[in-house]
Amino acid sequence: MVAWTAQDIPDQTGRTFVVTGANSGLGAETTRALAAAGARVVLACRDVAKGEKVAAELGDGVQVRRLDLADLDSVREFVDGLAASHEVVDVLINNAGVMAVPLRRTADGFEMQIGTNHLGHFALTALLLGRITDRVVTVSSAMHRIGRIDLDDLNWEHRRYDRWLAYGQSKLANLLFAYELQRRLTGRESPVRSLVVHPGYSSTNLQFRSETLYGKLMELSTPIIGQSPAMGALPSLYAATVPGVEPGGFYGPDSFFEMRGHPKRVQSSARSKDEDVASRLWTLSEKLCGVEMLSE
């Protein structure tokens, strides 16, 4: 198989993408590649000023809108803004995330990692799904393999907090959500597809925000070991643009234990395929976010 690159993205003229966390790292690289392929891209960013800097490089085909996934009011305002301008979205890329941060709470009281990485994107997808015509791409991580879903204490209110296990839980939640979304879309014979990806080990600023000695070590080693953000964005771009991707597929890098390389179909953990946990997490997420999405 010939290695797939951003130059292989089909012409995206006339198509609209929403990319969360598009102001830096993988999101910015994803946005640049989509814009280069002719797409119209909405940069959904908590930091609008940084988003504007990315947008300034790319011309008239992009726009920046504020979205703070750690605040459900902001999520609703973002979707209302798209609705008011009659935006139709071909592809939503749930890219934004935080990693291994100290115990903090979102505006709605959720643990910051599950709140941002999963619940914020769950609410966004639920509120936007009626405007999406093609697919939803959710960015997970190889770190989902250390994750466990605790449905009785999703927000770390009773357990002793562990930032890495909290991150793993949030990334496992991404996979459970993406797979369950596809099952429910299929059950309704919807043409919309749900895909999930992981970027391997990419050199971005995500790893540097854990505020620990380990984070400092990663800051030194990541530029050497990690692949570039442009390479890390390839699984997202592949899943978002290639016509023949399989509904419910999981894509990641093809080399060095999936840490680097070009996109290919990869496998996720057994826990990510637990349909009972996925269904129960879906119901809990609806309750916590105050939304309904393809409810049974």
Identify residue 7 by its one-letter amino acid code: Q
Catalytically active residues, by annotation: 167
